[in-house]
Amino acid sequence: MISGLLVIVMVSCGRTDLVDYEVPFVAPDAGTSRDAGPVDAGACPPGFALVNGACVEIAASLNGLRWELPCLTLDPDYPDFVCFTGADVTQSTTMLGAPGRLYDVRVRVRGVVETRGYTGGTTVAPLVRRGAEANPSTGDAWNIYRLTVSDPAERWYLNASVSGEYVCRPVDATFTVRVRAQATVTLFASSVDGRRSQIRNRDDAGTPLVAPGVPPAPMAFDGQFLQLDVLGVTAVP
């Protein structure tokens, strides 16, 4: 028995600050508690679910999901505004939790991005548009940044504003995504054009942007990036 304030990490890549306990909690061992017999769902603290007889942190694999598009070289024609980056980036993970169960996951997305115009959908937070469309065939060369969930299928674009700006914008958006256990959650970044170009990390005044509290803060990242962190998880009734 461990009393007082306790932070438990059930998965090696899991979140260390999602669940704080102010009451005693006994961690289950291989499907049973030490003295109380088989573990049931009620033995799992908030943010955890009973899976194969053990309490697992539901959103552990989502927390800290991140992509980066570094500036590798400057565009010789527009060195103050444009640089070249690498290939598209796809970062995927699997949602944990009780098999078949739906969860509402409150997420916070932070970073530095160039903006792009999208068609349709609904704005759910600054620069975040749910259910929109991006059509690269229109000749729009501004980057596409997207969060997708496989079940229930949904997508959110994370740099939704207007195309054509030669500056970047900070993102700090909080919203809720619904995810079924064992669904795939993916962060995707595409520089779209064949030159692999992107806008340099500069604001309207030409100053590099820093996302407070997100590495490499207090330094600016030389390029663009987005990081997803989990604020809370609620099972859908």
Same-domain check for residues 228 and 120: yes
1 in any annotated domain: no
69 and 52 share one domain: no
* 195 lies in some domain: yes
**Would residue 36 count as lying in a domain?**
yes
Tell whether 119 and 14 lie within a shared domain: no
Query: Are residue 121 and residue 74 in the same domain, yes or no?
Result: yes
- Pick from 188, 190, 189, 185: nearest CA to 230: 185
Convert the pLDDT of each residue in 88-106 to its tens digit: 999 999 999 999 999 999 9
pLDDT digit string, tens, across residues 21-77: 222 233 334 333 333 344 555 678 888 988 888 899 999 999 999 999 999 999 999
Examine the domain organization and report whether 44 and 83 are in the same domain.
Answer: no
Whether residues 198 and 125 share a domain: the answer is yes
pLDDT tens for each residue of 103-121? 999 999 999 999 999 999 9
Please report, rounded to a whole number, the percentage of residues in the chain having pLDDT higher than 90. Answer: 70
Same domain, 128 and 213: yes
Number of domains in the chain: 2
Q: Would residue 152 count as lying in a domain?
A: yes
| Domain final residue, candidates 18, 35, 57 | 57
| Full residue range of the structural domain in which residue 22 is found | 6-57
Check whether residue 161 and residue 215 sit in a common domain: yes
**What's the whole-model pTM score?**
0.81
192 assigned to some structural domain: yes
Q: Do 82 and 126 sit in the same domain of this protein? A: yes
Is 135 a residue whose pLDDT tops 60? yes
Beta bridge partners of 107: 175, 230
Q: Same domain, yes or no, for 118 and 27?
A: no
